[in-house]
Amino acid sequence: MRGIFFRHVLRDISISTTAVALVLLVILVTYQLAFVLGRAADGQIPAEIVLPLVGLSMRGNLTIILPFAVLLGTIMGLGRLYHDSEMAAALACGVSVRTLYLAAAVVTLLTALLGGWIGFIDGPHASRRLAELRTEALRTAVTRGLAPGQFRALASGVTVNFRSVDTDGTLREVFLQRDLPAAAGGHARMQVVLAARAYYSVSADNDYYRIELLDGENYEGAPGSGDWRVTRFAQQTIRVPTPSTSLPGRPRVDALTLHELRISSDPRLYAELHWRVSWVLITLVLGMLAVPLARLRPRQGRHSRVVIAVLLFAVYAGLLSAGRTMLERGDTPRPMGLWWVHTAALALGGGLLLLPRASDWLVRRRVR
């Protein structure tokens, strides 16, 4: 009887947790897809990396989804047992409440292990690859913004203009100006190229633009002087280094490995280490708090504890976010880290569980 009931409870919790995780994942992917598609429509990123960016962003944010899925899935799974009186029948048959904790512990532990692997191994790898793709997109964004009739700076000292572009990407009536190394007397020199046609591409390593000019004239000299060299060419290839770019904002810390975080004395890296550990601990804490929190009284709705679960997770996550900011600023002692947040969450969860019992005690006392 106990083994059968254990598998029954384990199945209900697992199905509910998986369903909640999938729903949250769909919401996250939808939001990420809309955001990335907006950037692609503006020409900030190429269309071919839209799906990779969405996938990498999703992998980095899974650690936030998993604790909430465990909390809500456990409450909904056990809530069905209480609502359908299956729990009352099982307790009457001698099944212990420890069966519920054991089933919830299995799901919680597996989810925490998955969250730890994502937070410490797969998540940083996805963040590094995401940063690489975004940097490459920034470096090549200038060529995606080329438009007929506009003067566009490809790099420092390089300007290009063209009259029209064919369907195969051929540029027509091209003007290109490039700064050259200064002459012996320190006078500035430049190169001006007029070509009937041109093709451009980006190297495989994104280090330079390759511009192939056809049927044109090349002018080299110093502005304001008569010393200019004019040549005609059938084909000329110019390599223009791509501009060095970096992502906006402070350097990312979510892409660092566990070893880099442990050996550093930087408060930001120390806070990041505690942040990753905390999302594993929050899964364990919420998974265990969900069992007593899912207990329903007679005639209570099946989903009556969902609102309390959402509020509990919101407060827990808010405290973690505030604690991380305080730890980065040095307002919290390093030994304290984010451990106080988990202690406060356990105290809050305990208060929520003891509140109904306290109210029942007060009612019985008034009756007497």
Task: Report the pLDDT value the prediction gives residue 365, as an integer from 0 to 100.
Answer: 61
Tokens of 66: 């998993």
Q: Judging by beta carbons within 10 Å of its beta carbon (0-12, 13-18, 19+), is residue 329 exposed, middle or buried?
A: exposed
Q: What span, in angstroms and rounded, lies between the C-alpha atoms of 29 and 126?
A: 15
What whole-number distance in Å separates Cα of residue 121 and Cα of residue 119?
6
Please give the average per-residue pLDDT across 79-103, as a whole number: 81
What was the pLDDT predicted at 238?
86
**In the chain, % of residues over pLDDT 90:** 18
Contacts of 58 (CB under 8 A, 6+ apart): 25, 28, 29, 32
Confidence class for position 113, pLDDT limits 50, 70, 90: very high
Cα-based distances in Å from 206 to 39, 139, 240, 244, 309? 20, 7, 11, 10, 48
Q: Distances in Å between the alpha carbon of 279 and those of 101, 111, 268?
A: 21, 11, 17
Q: So what's the pLDDT on residue 35?
A: 82
Q: Give CA angle at 11 (103, 296), nearest 5°.
A: 65
- Between these two residues, 4 and 246, which has the higher pLDDT value? 4
Predicted confidence (pLDDT) at residue 177 exceeds the cutoff of 70: yes
Q: How confident is the model at residue 14 (pLDDT cuts 50, 70, 90)?
A: very high
318-350 pLDDT per residue, tens? 989 998 999 888 888 888 888 888 888 888 767
Asked if 213 and 235 touch (Cβ cutoff 8 Å), the reply is yes
Instruction: Determine the pLDDT at residue 23.
Output: 92
Which is it for strands 208-221 and 228-241: parallel, antiparallel or unpaired?
Answer: antiparallel
Instruction: List pLDDT tens digits, range 223-235.
Output: 877 778 899 999 9
Lowest pLDDT segment from 32-46, 97-111, 354-368:
354-368
pLDDT tens-digit series, residues 35-75: 888 777 766 677 778 888 888 888 878 888 999 999 999 99
Quick check: 156 pLDDT over 80? no
Residue 288 in this model has a pLDDT that exceeds 90: no
Please give the Cα distance from 263 to 343 (Å, whole number). 26
- Work out the mean pLDDT of the chain and round it to a whole number: 82
Contacts of 95 (CB under 8 A, 6+ apart): 1, 2, 5
Average pLDDT over residues 105-119: 92
Residue 1 has pLDDT above 60, yes or no: no
Rounded CA separation 254/252 (Å)? 6
CA distance 338 to 278: 7
Asked if residue 112 has pLDDT above 90, the reply is: yes
pLDDT for 358 beyond 70: no
Half-sphere exposure of 365 (CA within 13 A, CB side): 6
Q: Which tens digits make up the pLDDT trace of 179-215?
A: 888 777 677 888 899 999 988 777 766 677 788 899 9
So what's the pLDDT on residue 194? 92
Distance CA 65, CA 21 (A): 7
What's the rounded Cα separation, in Å, for the pair 136 and 226?
42
Using CA of residue 303, residue 305, residue 307, residue 309, what is the dihedral sign? Answer: negative
**What is this structure's pTM?**
0.70
- Assess whether pLDDT exceeds 80 at residue 119: yes
Q: Name the residue type at position 197.
A: R
Per the CB < 8 A criterion, the answer to whether 247 and 135 are in contact is: yes
pLDDT at 175 over 70: yes
